[in-house]
Each structure stands twice: as C-alpha cells, then as structure tokens.
Amino acid sequence: MPNRYALKLEYDGTAFVGWQRQANGVSVQALLEDAAAHLAGAPVTSVVAGRTDAGVHAAGQVAHIDLPHPYPTRAVRDALCHYLRPHPVVVLQAALVPDDWNARFSAIGRDYRYAILNRPSRPALLDHRVWHVKRPLDVPSMARAAGLLLGRHDFSSFRAAACQANSPWRTLDRLEVTRDGDHIIIRAEARSFLHHQVRNMAGALKLVGEGRWSVDRVGQVLAAADRRAGGPTAPAAGLTLVGVRYPEDPFAG
Amino acid sequence: MPNRYALKLEYDGTAFVGWQRQANGVSVQALLEDAAAHLAGAPVTSVVAGRTDAGVHAAGQVAHIDLPHPYPTRAVRDALCHYLRPHPVVVLQAALVPDDWNARFSAIGRDYRYAILNRPSRPALLDHRVWHVKRPLDVPSMARAAGLLLGRHDFSSFRAAACQANSPWRTLDRLEVTRDGDHIIIRAEARSFLHHQVRNMAGALKLVGEGRWSVDRVGQVLAAADRRAGGPTAPAAGLTLVGVRYPEDPFAG
C-alpha cells in the first residue's frame, strides 16, 4: 500500500532544463525525486501534471509521489523544502491522496499565464519572467483574435514538431488578453495543451498586437491546421503554470 | 545653461550597496553617472529623490542630471539603458525639465511598497523581493495599528540611529496593509521619510500581525519617541520605491 502524496510546487524555471529529467542539465524532476529519496531513504519517482519546458516557471505545478512510510503532510512539505535548498523550487502544500489518484491523469484543467512587458526599456525587476516587446501592442485586437481560438479545434498550427500527443484536437476554455500598465497578461486554460501551444498562441497574438497580422489571420491560421502557417514561438521566460484543476481539490482539506 | 533631464528609473537593488556611491561595492548612482558620462563625454553628477539602501528596489525612482549638450529625450533614455547593461538598472523615461527643477527638492511625495510573503515555504519566484514570514499574520490588526501612525508625528521611535534629517517630525499620508493570498502589501506615502522609517514601521506591524504586540502598543511606541521602544527593522529585500510625486509630473508630456 503506497502512501501517495500530492504536492503543489512553485519554481523559477530560468536555470533548469525543464521539468523532465535530462542528461544535459538540472531538472525540477531530478531535484524533487532526489529530495524525496532523502526523506524516504529509498528511490522515489514522481508523476507531474504539466511537463514544463526549460525556462518556464510554475506557481502551482502539481506532482505526486509514493513514499514507503506515512508522514504528516506538513513534515513532507517541510522536509522536501529543506532538501530542495538552495534551488528555487519549493513545495507549497502536500496532501495525502488515494492510491489511484494521479497528478497527471486525474487533472481536468491546466491554467497558464503568459506575461509580456510592453515598453521601450528592458526589464530590471522582471528579467527572465517576461517577454520584452518594445513596440506598443494593440491589446483589444489581441483579445479579439484570442476569442477566435476558443473552443474545440485541431490546433496543429500551434503545435510543436516534437509534440507527442496522439491527437491535435484540444478544447480551449479560456484565452484572455488584458493590459495592466506596461504589463500584458495572457491567461490560457484547457483540459490539456499540445507541446508549445500556449507559447505558439502567444507568438501569434503578439503579431496581431503589432499590426503585422490581422485579427482574421489568426482564424485562417487555425483553419490551416499546419504549423508552417503559425507564427513564432514566444520565449519560455514569459510562461508560468499557474495551477492545475482536479474534480476535487486535493489541497482543500 | 545646463540641459537638465529628469529620469525615471527601475532597478533590482539586491546586488547593490544602495543608491549612494560607496567605496565598498557597486551603487546605482555610480552606474547611472558612469552611463551618463559615456553619453556626455564628460563627468556627470546626479541628484536623486530617494536614497534607497542596499537591497532596496525601485520601480519609479527619480533622479536628475545635467548634460553639456541637448539630446532628444528618447535618445537619453535609450543611450543610458545601453550603457547601464548588463546591470539590473534601466531608465524608463527621460524628460527635459527647467534648470531650477530638482529631483530631490522639488519632490512632494515618496511612495513605497513593502511586501511580505506570508506562508510556510520560502519564496522560489520572489526571492530577494519579499520578507518571508512563516507565521500567519493578522492583517486587520496590522491595518488598525497602521492607522495609529497616520498624520504628523515625531517618528523618533521608527528612525535609524544613522538618520541625518534635522527633524524627527514627518507627516504620514498613507499607511495601508492589505492581503492578496499569501502576499501582504504595506503601502506608505509621505512627503519624505526618515532613514529606515518604512522598514521600522513594517517591523513593528509584523509584530502586531503575529500577536506579539497589541494594536495599542504601536501608539505607545510612537508616543515614546525613542528608537529603543521600536520593533525590529524589516529586511531591505521587501521594500520598493514605487514612485515620486511632484507638483507637476515631469514625465506626463
């Protein structure tokens, strides 16, 4: 009988090769599994809701691990935070979940935020956290274009070549573009996303904001269902996995 | 006839000895004056509205410089940003101002934000930007205590020993404490502040939030007019100079 713990994680992705363990650098997965192995005294593997790419951040990533012994959830949180030092990765909450609960397969929604800093001067306070775009962007046009992507579509035009998903069909539940001073925030929610989908949508919306693409062109690109029709991939630094939704919030208790 | 430029600056104070030029490390003043000297081809001195301490950040600091030749304001901004690379200091705006305009003495208000991250886990995304306080803080009590400090008072109890001001009397126009999830924000506005005043007020309010000080104790400490009665100085990392106010906004044009 495993003791399965759901973990809510925050990390700064700047220095990592991404979530997934890789030979060529430090991954969040390796740090978390090493920390859990210290706690458990035995190897531990993790399953994650969103395999974020290199440079992508998380404010509410969710993973699960099985530990050979039961621990109070606070002890799991605090011990993992301790062993994760000094890396910019922390466990915000830990919760005991049923053995058949799965951070990846039980998830019913992923919420992302893409941040653009839209001003002439480079960021001094938000370096590595935003996409710096100098030219003033037309946010109302970006928001109208975003509306064309809502709903169920073949998102092949916004899918990375390396994407391993079986189907290019996804249902986009939310894609909002708002401005707060120099900051433009794109919020994207779906049950799941294709590889690079949020960054590819952000790259296309930026072209609309610059006036280089019309609003309608985004609809045409979507209909083309061909990555060669899509725009550029927005930089990883602007993207943050804000949260993961489940039928019942495992951290609510 | 000098060509006087007002500059609005953003910087991450983490790695600096503070605004003021010092022998023992890199200051924002030295970086700005060096950058301006590159542009002018001659030495340039600056005058600043708020001499921030080591580790304190700025989102809207204001300084002025005199240049031997006139330049378009955009060129001043872009050239200074260029010469300030790769340091986390940027000029957001430059404006031509009258010869008798002074970034320090023309200012009629300084606006600061003090940020507390109030949760068990250390910050991964906001390291060096917040004061990490683990124990849950009672924000309504902090807000009531803050109200006792509003108005014109002898702020000796919240004044650093090294403070060089002639008088300990200041008028506090705003001191608000609000919570947004795990983030507690203290906003402070006054014509001017004593040295460490905002951080000393934040340190006292944190004791109230923890329940170690009553709300009334803050009023008693204020009345004592003695730094030995005050609480601890909150860490520099949580403090940001948000903006400086003038009778007319030099950057509005």
d(CA B121, CA A78): 7
The minimal CB distance from A122 to the residues B81, B122, B123 is found for B81
The minimal CB distance from A124 to the residues B77, B88, B122 is found for B88
CB–CB contact B125 A81 (8 Å): no
- Helix axis angle, A139-148 to A197-209, nearest 10°: 140
CB–CB contact A12 B125 (8 Å): yes
| Res B161: pLDDT | 86
- pLDDT above 80 for A155: yes
Q: What is the pLDDT of residues B136-167, one digit of tens each?
A: 999 999 999 999 999 999 999 999 988 888 99
Which residues fall within 8 angstroms of residue B164, CB to CB, at 6 or more apart?
B195
Residue at token pair 């006139």? B70
The residues of B carrying an active-site annotation are: 53
Q: What is the pLDDT of residues A199-212, one digit of tens each?
A: 999 999 999 999 99
B89, B121, B182: best to mutate for the A interface, most A CBs within 10 A: B121
Contacts of A121 in chain B (CB under 8 A): 10, 77, 81, 90-92
| Res B163: pLDDT | 87
The DSSP code sequence of A121-173 is: SPPSSSTTTSEEE-SPP-HHHHHHHHHHT-EEEE-GGG--TT---S-SEEEEE
Q: A-B interface: how many C-beta pairs under 8 angstroms?
A: 59
Query: Which of B142, B153, B233 has its CA nearest to residue B185?
Result: B142
CB–CB contact A10 B124 (8 Å): yes
Which residues fall within 8 angstroms of residue A176, CB to CB, at 6 or more apart?
A143, A146, A186, A187
- pLDDT above 90 for A38: yes
| Res A205: pLDDT | 98
Contacts of A238 in chain B (CB under 8 A): none
A11, A118, A122: best to mutate for the B interface, most B CBs within 10 A: A122
Contacts of B241 in chain A (CB under 8 A): none
The minimal CB distance from A81 to the residues B11, B57, B121 is found for B121
Q: pLDDT band for position A72 (50/70/90)?
A: very high
| Res B164: pLDDT | 87
The answer to whether residues A47 and A33 touch, using CB atoms and an 8 Å cutoff, is no
| Res A212: pLDDT | 97
Give the pLDDT mean for B169-174: 98
What's the token pair of residue B20?
């003021």
Query: Per 3-state DSSP, what percentage of chain B is helix, strand, and coil (rounded to 5)?
Result: 30, 30, 40
To the nearest 10°, the Cα dihedral for B91, B93, B99, B101? Answer: -100
Please list, residue by residue across A235-249, b when 16 or more beta carbons sit within 10 angstroms of its beta carbon and e when fewer do: bbbbbbbbbbbbeee
Give the pLDDT mean for A139-159: 98
What is the residue-averaged pLDDT of chain A?
A: 96
Give the pLDDT mean for A113-122: 98
The minimal CB distance from B12 to the residues A89, A92, A124 is found for A124
In total, chain B counts a number of residues equal to 253
Please list, residue by residue across A138-148, b when 16 or more beta carbons sit within 10 angstroms of its beta carbon and e when fewer do: bbebbbebbeb
Residue at token pair 């951040």? A57
A251 secondary structure, DSSP code: T
User: What's phi and psi for A99, nearest 5 deg?
Assistant: -65, -25
Residues belonging to chain A with any Cβ–Cβ distance to chain B shorter than 8 Å:
10-12, 57, 59, 74, 77-78, 81, 88-92, 119-125, 127, 129
Query: Which of B89, B84, B99, B95 has its CA nearest to residue B38?
Result: B84
CB–CB contact B125 A91 (8 Å): no
Q: pLDDT band for position A1 (50/70/90)?
A: low
d(CA B111, CA B117): 20
Instruction: Tell me how far CA of residue A161 lies from CA of A158, A195, A233, B6, B211, in angstroms.
Output: 10, 8, 12, 49, 56
A12, A77, A89, A121: best to mutate for the B interface, most B CBs within 10 A: A121
Which residues fall within 8 angstroms of residue B162, CB to CB, at 6 or more apart?
B195
User: What percent of chain B shows pLDDT beyond 70?
Assistant: 99
CB–CB contact B125 A11 (8 Å): yes
| Res B1: pLDDT | 63
The residues of A carrying an active-site annotation are: 53
d(CA A33, CA A13): 17
d(CA A228, CA B162): 64
CB–CB contact A125 B81 (8 Å): no
Contacts of B90 in chain A (CB under 8 A): 121-124
Q: What is the pLDDT of residues B1-39, one digit of tens each?
A: 679 999 999 999 999 999 999 999 999 999 999 999 999
d(CA A191, CA A169): 11
The minimal CB distance from B10 to the residues A59, A125, A129 is found for A125
- pLDDT above 80 for B253: no
Instruction: Tell me how far CA of residue B82 lies from CA of A117, A119, A157, in angstroms.
Output: 18, 15, 37
Residues belonging to chain B with any Cβ–Cβ distance to chain A shorter than 8 Å:
10-12, 57, 59, 74, 77-78, 81, 88-92, 119-125, 127, 129
What amino acid occupies position B208?
V
User: What's phi and psi for B30, nearest 5 deg?
Assistant: -65, -40
The minimal CB distance from A90 to the residues B57, B122, B129 is found for B122
The answer to whether residues B155 and B197 touch, using CB atoms and an 8 Å cutoff, is yes
d(CA A26, CA A147): 37
What amino acid occupies position A160?
A
What is the residue-averaged pLDDT of chain B?
A: 96
Contacts of A74 in chain B (CB under 8 A): 120
CB–CB contact B120 A74 (8 Å): yes
CB–CB contact B91 A11 (8 Å): no
B45 has which bridge partners?
none
E-state strands within chain A: 3-11, 46-48, 57-67, 89-97, 109-118, 131-133, 151-154, 169-180, 183-190, 239-245
Contacts of B123 in chain A (CB under 8 A): 10, 90
